[in-house]
């Protein structure tokens, strides 16, 4: 049994609305090319009354950020009995919270950069003290936001207040991580399997919003395996973009899959990590609804595995639909 009628939810009420619309339009075209009957809803509130007026086999969630990746829209869809793509309410909520995610990673024995969490209710002097104890430079990130919105690197403590102000525009809590100089890797997960690794080589200092969506100089390299003495790349590994030893490559995929499972993610995700100069991997986050634009990394990884964009989107819909059928069968048996 296959799904026929798919609704693509895009837009949304978060700061990532523009990217979501681009993702949703790309997904809708891909699913149409795959022969499915597709309609779109531009989500502008948290009720989505249009859902009640359509025949829907699966809702493809192309919403990023708040009321997309945080479990909100998933909860709404469950209340209406509509199958949806991606992770459950609880897994989405957990993955969206960067601090809760890090705590879960640490409990599972996975390596993350040292960090502290601060709130806008704390005194600046207290935050400065904690940051100096952590050690400069540091990276500031809104706890519950995506697309690198609100992120800053602080190398001088005098710049901390401005970076905090920028991050607090997107929530009352901010994650402050120890800055790790290294290579940026991302591993897509599809149907509980790791896809080929992609290395991000931003022209800017880090993979910011502009580097992701407006700077054409950012490079995305499909990583290749290479031999190395004792399974390690030479000390100048930071210059060897697009290459990893077999052991490091396999480790990165294993870490990504472990992170995906630890958070309880389903269907697909994208796991971001850093590789430092000593060939040590640090997990950053798991994106339960990564982008589906022409620059997006999950589609690039799928393509490297021989999966077209249209096939990727269709597969994601099938996974959601089949999961629902299994749930129905289990309910009948019980």
What is the CATH classification number for the domain harbouring 167? 3.30.1490.20
Residues 172 and 186 in one domain: no
**Does residue 79 lie in a domain region?**
yes
Strand partners, 117: 175
Query: What pLDDT is stored for residue 233 in this prediction?
Result: 47
Residues 226 and 243 in one domain: yes
Q: Pick from 178, 199, 220: which residue ends a domain?
A: 178
Token pair of 269 as six digits: 């995700």
Residues 210 and 149 in one domain: no
- Cβ atoms of 16 and 64 closer than 8 Å: yes
Distances (CA, A) of 61 to 28, 67, 92, 191, 288: 11, 10, 12, 17, 10
pTM, two decimal places: 0.90
Residues 138 and 237 in one domain: no
Which domain covers residue 33, as residue numbers? 5-86+310-333
Q: Is 285 annotated in the active site?
A: yes
Q: CATH code at 49?
A: 3.40.50.20
Q: Pick from 160, 178, 196: which residue ends a domain?
A: 178
Residues 103 and 51 in one domain: no
Token pair of 169 as six digits: 């525009």
Q: Is 55 annotated in the active site?
A: no
Query: What pLDDT is stored for residue 235 in this prediction?
Result: 43
Q: Is 16 annotated in the active site?
A: yes
Q: Tell me how many domains the chain contains.
A: 3
CA dihedral 255, 220, 245, 272 (to 10 degrees): -10
Residues 187 and 319 in one domain: no
Sheet holding 58-61, edge to edge: 37-43, 5-11, 58-61
Q: Is 287 annotated in the active site?
A: yes
Token pair of 123 as six digits: 């005194």
Q: How many of the other CB atoms lie within 10 Å of CB of 145?
A: 26
**Does residue 9 lie in a domain region?**
yes
Residues 105 and 190 in one domain: yes
> Which of 69, 177, 184, 272 does the annotation list as catalytic?
272
Residues 193 and 271 in one domain: yes
**Does residue 328 lie in a domain region?**
yes
Residues 241 and 106 in one domain: yes
Q: CATH code at 197?
A: 3.30.470.20
- Cβ atoms of 71 and 96 closer than 8 Å: yes
Per-position pLDDT tens, the chain of length 334:
889 999 999 999 998 899 999 999 999 999 999 999 999 999 999 999 999 999 999 999 999 999 999 999 999 999 999 999 999 999 999 999 999 999 999 999 999 999 999 999 999 999 999 999 999 999 999 998 764 788 999 999 999 999 999 999 999 999 999 999 999 999 999 999 999 999 999 876 654 455 455 567 789 999 999 875 454 545 444 447 899 999 999 999 999 999 999 999 999 999 999 999 999 999 999 999 999 987 799 999 999 999 999 999 999 999 999 998 765 444 445 4
**Does residue 121 lie in a domain region?**
yes
**Does residue 299 lie in a domain region?**
no
Q: Pick from 132, 163, 178: which residue ends a domain?
A: 178
Q: Check residue 155 and report its DSSP letter.
A: S
> Which of 11, 14, 16, 84 does the annotation list as catalytic?
16
**Does residue 81 lie in a domain region?**
yes
Query: What pLDDT is stored for residue 210 in this prediction?
Result: 53
The pLDDT tens digits of the residues spanning 168-224 come to: 999 999 999 999 999 999 999 999 999 999 999 987 665 445 545 556 778 999 999
Find all residues with CB under 8 Å of 174, minimum gap 6, and list them.
Answer: 117, 118, 119, 120, 140, 141, 142, 143, 164, 167, 168
- Cβ atoms of 235 and 277 closer than 8 Å: yes
**Does residue 242 lie in a domain region?**
yes
Report H helices in the chain: 17-33, 72-79, 89-96, 98-107, 124-134, 160-168, 209-213, 246-262, 297-304, 309-333
Q: Is 11 annotated in the active site?
A: no
Q: Give me the DSSP letters along 22-83.
A: HHHHHHHHHHHHTT-EEEEEEE-SSS-GGGGGS--SEEEE---STTTTSSHHHHHHHHTT--
Residues 103 and 251 in one domain: yes
Distances (CA, A) of 123 to 114, 136, 188: 21, 19, 39
Residues 210 and 101 in one domain: yes
Query: What pLDDT is stored for residue 144 in this prediction?
Result: 86
Q: Which residues of 269-290 are buried (b: 16+ CB within 10 A; e: fewer)?
A: bbbbbbbeeebebbbbbbbbbb
> Which of 147, 152, 208, 296 does the annotation list as catalytic?
147
**Does residue 219 lie in a domain region?**
yes
> Which of 14, 184, 270, 282 does the annotation list as catalytic?
270
> Which of 213, 251, 276, 318 does the annotation list as catalytic?
213
Distances (CA, A) of 178 to 95, 116, 138, 139, 181: 20, 9, 5, 6, 10
Residues 102 and 230 in one domain: yes
């Amino acid at each position: 049994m296959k799904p026929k009628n798919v609704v693509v939810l895009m837009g949304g009420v978060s700061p990532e609305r523009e990217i979501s619309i681009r993702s949703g339009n790309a997904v809708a075209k891909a699913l149409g090319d795959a022969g499915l009957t597709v309609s779109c809803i531009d989500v502008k509130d948290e009720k989505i009354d249009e859902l009640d007026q359509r025949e829907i086999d699966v809702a493809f969630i192309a919403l990023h950020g708040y009321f997309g990746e945080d479990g909100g829209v998933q909860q709404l869809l469950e209340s209406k009995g509509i199958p949806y793509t991606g992770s459950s309410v609880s897994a989405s909520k957990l993955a969206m919270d960067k601090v809760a995610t890090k705590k879960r990673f640490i409990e599972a024995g996975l390596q993350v950069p040292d960090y502290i969490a601060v709130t806008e209710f704390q005194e600046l002097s207290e935050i400065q003290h904690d940051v100096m104890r952590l050690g400069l430079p540091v990276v500031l990130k809104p706890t519950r936001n995506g697309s690198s919105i609100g992120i800053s690197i602080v190398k001088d403590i005098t710049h901390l207040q401005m970076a905090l102000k920028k991050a607090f525009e997107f929530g009352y809590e901010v994650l402050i991580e120890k800055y790790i100089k290294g290579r940026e890797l991302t591993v897509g997960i599809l149907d509980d399997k790791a896809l080929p690794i992609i290395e991000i080589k931003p022209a800017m200092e880090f993979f910011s919003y502009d580097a992701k969506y407006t700077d054409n100089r950012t490079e995305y390299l499909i990583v290749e395996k290479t031999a190395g003495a004792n399974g390690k790349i030479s000390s100048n590994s930071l210059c060897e973009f697009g290459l990893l030893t077999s052991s490091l490559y396999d480790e990165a995929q294993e870490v990504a899959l472990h992170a995906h499972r630890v958070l309880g993610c389903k269907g697909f995700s994208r796991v971001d990590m850093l590789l430092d100069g000593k060939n040590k991997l640090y997990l950053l986050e798991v994106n339960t609804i990564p982008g589906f634009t022409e620059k997006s990394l999950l589609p690039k990884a799928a393509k490297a595995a021989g999966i077209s964009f249209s096939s990727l989107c269709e597969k994601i819909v099938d996974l959601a639909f089949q999961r629902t059928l299994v749930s129905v069968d289990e309910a009948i048996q019980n």
